[in-house]
Amino acid sequence: MELWYVQNYIENYQMALKVKETLFVGRTKFQEIAIIDTYLYGKVLLLDGIVQTTEKDEFMYHEMLVHPAMVTHPHPRKVFIVGGGDGGAAREVLKHPVEEVVLVDIDEGVIELCQKYFPQLGRWDDPRLRVYVGDAAEYIAETRETFDVIIMDSTDPIPRGVAEPLFSPEFYRRAYDRLSPDGILVSQMEPPFFEAERVKKLWKHLGVFPILRLYWGLVPTYPGGVWSYVIASKKYDPAQGGRDLPFPTRYYSSRIHRAAFVLPVFLEEMFQ
């Protein structure tokens, strides 16, 4: 008998993957965690039944989440990662000559399971990485640290979900205050074709920043295959930047950087 995983959290839309083996199913006090091995995408991390990352296409998401912001800032020394318990965002940041990376994820179970089942995702032994298990919203509210780049790599801002407070106007105002004078915040922004109203709401919440730029990239296992991101900047315009990196990448390049900020007409109209 065949076993299929079906994702259907978006109304009237489903995605299915044929499952080779169920590697783990469990629940923390925050969310349900499952790890499955699929024929097409290899191992897949599911949180509350929603795909977070897969072995085959994770590089598309993590490179496009991290590198546009990191190359836009001329000298990012200290970086804060909200969520990111799978380790992929930190891995990409640590390819840059940063001095310190602070990662705060609320669910220790995600970190431990990803270290076990997705060891290639993380660089957990890098001495520049500090990992805290806790609420990133509380951390930002209480810390007096200053960061050059803040990377939002949490789960989706689904109503009443564990990540919803991380996408509030209050959180963005506090993040703004914790950024250096030329600091940058980058966040994933949901599938623009399916969740247009939620994307526009998040965009409005970021209004404290003088420069806002939406960009996009491909992630086949995310709804619709096209994912949107936003860079909120105090000084630098990411659409004017982009450069090739001194280390190999599989998705990001200076040409991809510039092209990602060229929006389809329906997205331009959405944010007029």
Residue positions forming the annotated binding site for spermidine: 62, 86, 153-156
Q: Can 153 be counted among the known catalytic residues?
A: yes
Token look-up 């500090």 returns: 130
| Interstrand relation of 179-188 and 100-105 (parallel, antiparallel or unpaired) | unpaired
| Cβ contacts of 116 within 8 Å, gap of 6 or more | none
Q: Could you tell me how many helices (H) and strands (E) the chain has, helices first? A: 8, 12
| Cβ contacts of 60 within 8 Å, gap of 6 or more | 217, 218, 219, 220, 250, 251
Q: Does residue 145 contact residue 78 with C-beta atoms inside 8 Å?
A: yes
Q: Tell me if residue 2 falls in helix, strand or coil.
A: coil
- Give the ranges where 164-249 is alpha helix by DSSP (H): 169-178, 196-205
| Cβ contacts of 39 within 8 Å, gap of 6 or more | 17, 18, 19, 20
Residue numbers belonging to the annotated binding site for S-methyl-5'-thioadenosine: 31, 105, 135-136
Token look-up 């914790």 returns: 178
Report CA 87 to chain centroid distance, whole Å: 11
- The catalytically annotated residue of 37, 153, 177, 237 is 153
| Cβ contacts of 147 within 8 Å, gap of 6 or more | 78, 79, 80, 102, 178, 179, 180, 183
Structure tokens at 23: 């590697």
Residue numbers belonging to the annotated binding site: 31, 62, 86, 105, 135-136, 153-156
| Catalytically active residues, by annotation | 153
